[in-house]
Amino acid sequence: MPDPGDALESFRIDGRVAIVTGASSGLGARFARVLHGAGATVVLAARRRDRLEALAAELAGALPVACDVTRQADRERLVASTIEHHGRVDVLVNNAGVGTPAPAENETVERFGEVLDVNLTAAFGLAQAVGRPMLAAGRGSIVNVSSILGTVGSQIPFASYAASKGGLIALTRELTAQWARRGVRVNALAPGWFETEMTAEMFADERSMGWVARTAPMGRPGAPDELDGALLFLASDASSYVTGQVLAVDGGWTAI
């Protein structure tokens, strides 16, 4: 039986290779820094190569790969480059996402499809692409970055985003059902209100922040570092008996 004193060591991911999509800014860049700090070799994926290279210069050994996750060829190249440089892939953080609030009666079907293409279809394509070598190795952890808007309705007009994030949760559970016995764990992280490029306008609006303060039981949005522990838990052996779960980090917002 492991010594309880070794509990903190289970959060370390020394020597593991982790792909983070949407790594050019916001939560993705933060996730890459956190995984690197815990010992992982990180592969940074996003469309903006200049930002990836700047982050890679900060994180020793990081590999920047320009990638449009909606393109199958780019997804395949991302995984192939990872294996070519590092020989393996142990962790995938499916973080890339888009969304623009719009009333459901006005949002075009075309835009709805674009959001699902990035947030859901591309996430499946990447999970499939890394899942094959993970299944062959008999180990791996996939963390799908969903949202509390994928678990409950809200007063925010965000139909395509909510549908995509709800679908990502269902995909998480289905991949778990198929892959758990073969050593690959798949979980979802569901952040609440955190400041990113996508939410910058909301955070700059006093009325919106007042609404968050009134509706979140903790009375505030999350700070960037308040996702660190949840990410490391799901990516590391600390969650070795956890799969198919949705971990909400939302200050209690979905509890009421």
Using one digit for the tens of pLDDT, what is the confidence trace for 3-54?
766 778 899 999 999 999 999 999 999 999 999 999 999 999 999 999 999 9
Active-site residues, by number, are: 161
CA 135 to chain centroid: 20
C-alpha angle with apex 239: 6 to 89, nearest 5 degrees?
A: 100
What's the rounded mean pLDDT across residues 49-72?
97
pLDDT-wise least confident of 66-75, 88-97, 211-220, 221-230 = 211-220
176: Cβ–Cβ under 8 A, 6 or more apart, which residues? Answer: 185, 186, 187, 243, 244
Q: 12-248 — its CATH code?
A: 3.40.50.720
Write down the domain spans for the chain: 12-248
Look at residue 2 and tell me whether its pLDDT is greater than 70: no
Cβ contact 100:126 at 8 Å? no
What value, to the nearest 5°, has the Cα angle with vertex 9 and ends 173 and 62? 75
User: Which comes out higher in pLDDT, residue 145 or 101?
Assistant: 145
What local confidence, expressed as pLDDT, does residue 88 receive?
A: 97
Q: Are 18 and 90 in contact (CB under 8 A)?
A: yes
**Is residue 157 over pLDDT 90?**
no
Side by side, which strands form the sheet with 184-191?
63-66, 41-46, 17-21, 91-94, 140-145, 184-191, 246-249
Average pLDDT across the chain, whole number: 94
Looking at per-residue pLDDT, the higher value among 157 and 237 belongs to 237
Quick one: DSSP state of residue 193? S
The larger pLDDT score, comparing residue 202 to residue 151, is at 151
pLDDT, tens digit (0-9, with 9 covering 90-100), for 77-94: 999 999 999 999 999 999
